[in-house]
A and B are shown apart, each in its own frame.
Chain A
């Protein structure tokens, strides 16, 4: 099998990383080409599989089958929901620092940077400890100069929230005066790098000493170390003698950078070449197959022959779907058909939270994620589409973003591997 041609994965967000890694593990030669880093650096790095449908989902496993029936064009429905479970299990097996916990049987309710209890299926254990499902007492900690996290806002909203059986949640905010060398304008990554240092962690613990009640659990912005979060987290728990958890901040996301590091490191170990800054300009095709892609390099345009392509270009947010000023929509890399383009110029409605006609526009696929045209005919047999470029979902509303990218990236790889047999 490894003697066969190379698979080109386009995009290095979660979907691209997962597809590339699973293919490489399956023995395929893989090349990853990406314009820039992707969604991982923005998202909270929790695996949200299904949070709202549209009611709050308690158990994704129980809800997914009926969700698939109600949303037949959703990627979950097209792939079959069993894939999601396999993908989650596979991913958890590849992440150890920090480890990921949880499964599809029930969602955690994890606090966001606004103090909202967000349903999520699988999360780094550094975050999962903050589960609000059964209430509790929480102290939310603010770090000086960090402008992307407001503990009082988090605590205030947590205090107006209850557990699933009405359990009380008590929350308050504390600020610790542990500056980064007196800096007043600090991003999450700067704190994370510094918290890789045990001495700095000890200072943080010391600043919190005596300020915590007996039952308080401690919520910190998600900056507990970049390279060794597991260690940083365990050490803080030990020093404070109580549960400690992280809450995602505004981007850049430290947990996302960790997730990216873990998966791209695994790719590296398998000898997969990852080129960032290699924008794919277009493809060569022959007989219903993509035979290779052109990338932009400093040295001019370069051609990469491809036995297959996984298109994981991240949808609208990452340039995987585009609309120009004449309102023409296209998928710019392979020129795939785009479905769900609303007619009559009504792309968006006046209310921000309205159901916007353009919301689930994207590339339509069949069950093995090969792109199809308006008549349901496969466009390229050796192409798979994964992640936010797919039609039929509104992941930011469903709270299914990383779950969708993970499972479609995984399924794209599996169906390609299966085909070679």
Chain B
């Protein structure tokens, strides 16, 4: 069994884990990060995409509001390349209490959230699709943040500072030496090989899974309630500004423009297992009804896909309460030495994607103290920009098209919906020799547009196979997995044009290509075909 040693081991490859790994590496610690799947495959890759201004929490959760406001300003400086500066609106719809706006303004003032009440007419000029019946409108610094870009930029930076990022490694055992955590055993989910990682400090950054890892370490229970939320991506930019309802946080009250789509969300209900997130019909209907309130005609737009994420909500579950929204959105940093008498182990969970940097800073401060790092090692992540990021240089919805247009005649377009070129695809494959089709799909947003992979599923498989990166069995299996993965996101919202598209894709893959009878597929894939 392979065995390695490090100073700091981070478990969890979401925003929090990558933030910790980068910060620790920048402060000179030998650092290793392990993630059971690919980076950002947990909650971070399934969130709503909103860089909070803090407005959402201004009334309800002042601490979270304050932290969001401060981090929003910092991330705009250091992570601009992952941000689209859409701005945000809070609007009072006919269903909302007009006086809440006053509490909202007061809350923003108390928590340092920048806000300006504007004329309803100005708001509607800015966002003509929004319900014309709104009675008040407030402008805030919300923005749209690309989680994949962010996480990968952190990973690159961490690696530049000497960290090792190991994906597809699941922690199966936490090693204990008396009352100290001494490291972990991970299993490589592709080769089934085990590996031991000895570490002086293990950071549990597994988000909604934090309770599971803490249990492996033999700690007292870490009360993390996975709070399920669903989101639906609608075709087109129905709005270009983040639009929130000016009311106490509730279901389906935010629409976030992300790249070429608009995403409505979300819900919040406690679940037992963050890996089992089923989307129900009732939830879909609920989101569409709420979307309709913010943007009349919402139901006529084309729903592209639906997905769910699990919030890591820290704190005891309020007895008899089914709504997890009352748990604070601020984060929790647990020093298990202090709490449970178990050294070498800390848990960082809760919080928001927006506050990932702050969470990392506090965590690594604690690590410094615990490891007695010999003098102060100051945190630099609030001032040192991520690779390829320049303060104020946000991406825009047209960025991809602009890049693509420069190469219209010398590069092939593999995914027309998301403007992914062949060169981009091949480079992504080269960059990460161990990447599979699914990793690349997520990293490039391949197949995430209106046709949901109708064309690019076949093309990407063909290109991967041709690069001799996939043998026949793997190629066929990857193709089937791709189809299944796409189906998972669309079947609960198949109506209107998307149903039509799905049937067209059936004709292409089943009618034209007879994909069900591929001769060589892995046993697991045959199972899903039968």
Contact = CB atoms under 8 A, between A and B. Distances in A.
Interface of A: 39, 42-44, 48, 51, 56, 112-118, 145, 147-150, 152-153, 156-157, 159-161, 183-185, 248, 250-251, 253, 315-319, 322-327, 345, 347-353, 395-397, 399, 401
Nearest to A184: B412
Contacts of A326: 299
Given A351-B484, A396-B506, A316 B513 contact: no
Contact of A113 (B281, B411, B513, B528): B513
A317 B422 contact: no
Interface stretch (B116-124, B254-262, B487-495): B487-495
A353 B495 CA distance: 19
Contact of B461 (A147, A153, A159): A153
B504 interface: yes
B515 A147 contact: no
B193 interface: no
11 contacts: A114-B458, A116-B515, A147-B412, A147-B414, A147-B422, A183-B409, A184-B411, A317-B507, A351-B484, A352-B483, A352-B528
B514 A116 contact: yes
Interface stretch (B23-31, B179-187, B241-249, B462-470): B462-470
B321 interface: no
Interface stretch (B44-52, B139-147, B385-393, B516-524): B516-524
Given A116-B514, A184-B412, A316-B500, A325 B458 contact: no
Contacts of A156: 465, 472, 475, 520
A159 B471 CA distance: 13
A150 B530 CA distance: 26
Given A150-B465, A316-B503, A322-B496, A395 B511 contact: yes
B288 A317 contact: no
A117 B519 CA distance: 9
Contacts of A183: 409
B303 interface: yes
Contact of B487 (A152, A185, A318, A352): A352
Contact of B514 (A42, A145, A149, A399): A399
B478 to A, nearest CB: 11
Which 7 pairs show the lowest CB-CB distances between chains A and B? Answer: A150-B462, A396-B511, A352-B487, A316-B503, A160-B519, A325-B299, A348-B491
Contact of A185 (B412, B492, B496): B412
B496 A114 contact: no
B515 A397 contact: no
A353 B499 CA distance: 16
A157 B474 CA distance: 12
A42 B484 contact: no
A173 B514 CA distance: 20
A156 B471 CA distance: 9
Given A184-B410, A353-B528, A327 B461 contact: no
Nearest to A154: B462
B515 A114 contact: yes
A115 B515 CA distance: 9
Nearest to A353: B529
A52 B52 CA distance: 54
Interface of B: 281, 288, 299-300, 303, 409-414, 422, 455, 458-459, 461-463, 465-466, 472, 475-476, 479, 483-484, 486-488, 491-492, 494-496, 499-500, 503-504, 506-508, 510-520, 528-530
Nearest to A401: B511
Contact of B504 (A42, A153, A351): A42
Contacts of B500: 316-319
A317 B414 CA distance: 23
Contacts of A345: 281
A39 B506 CA distance: 13
B516 A397 contact: yes
A112 B516 CA distance: 12
Nearest to B519: A160
Contact of B465 (A43, A152, A316, A352): A152
Interface centre among B409, B462, B518 (most CB of A within 10 A): B462
Contact of A396 (B288, B455, B507): B507
A43 B507 contact: yes
Contacts of B410: 184
Given A42-B508, A42-B512, A248-B512, A324 B495 contact: yes
A153 B475 contact: yes
A144 to B, nearest CB: 10
Given A401-B507, A401-B511, A114 B281 contact: no
Contact of A112 (B479, B513, B520, B528): B513
A387 to B, nearest CB: 12
Interface centre among B459, B503, B504, B511 (most CB of A within 10 A): B511
Nearest to B407: A184
A396 B476 CA distance: 19
B518 A157 contact: yes
A160 B473 CA distance: 10
Nearest to A158: B519
Interface centre among B459, B465, B510 (most CB of A within 10 A): B510
A332 to B, nearest CB: 12
Nearest to B481: A352
A101 to B, nearest CB: 20
Contacts of A250: 455, 458-459, 508, 512
A317 B528 contact: no
Nearest to A175: B466
Contacts of B459: 147-148, 150, 250
Contact of B488 (A184, A318, A350): A350
Given A160-B472, A322-B496, A325-B495, 17 more contacts: A42-B512, A114-B458, A150-B461, A152-B465, A153-B461, A153-B466, A153-B475, A157-B518, A323-B494, A323-B496, A324-B299, A326-B299, A350-B488, A352-B484, A395-B511, A396-B510, A399-B514
Contacts of A350: 487-488, 491
Contacts of A322: 496
A316 B518 contact: no
A347 B510 contact: no
B508 A251 contact: yes
Contacts of B506: 317, 396
Nearest to B528: A351
A399 B472 CA distance: 24
Contacts of B300: 325
B463 A150 contact: yes
Contacts of A349: 491
A313 to B, nearest CB: 12
A47 B182 CA distance: 67
A156 B299 CA distance: 45
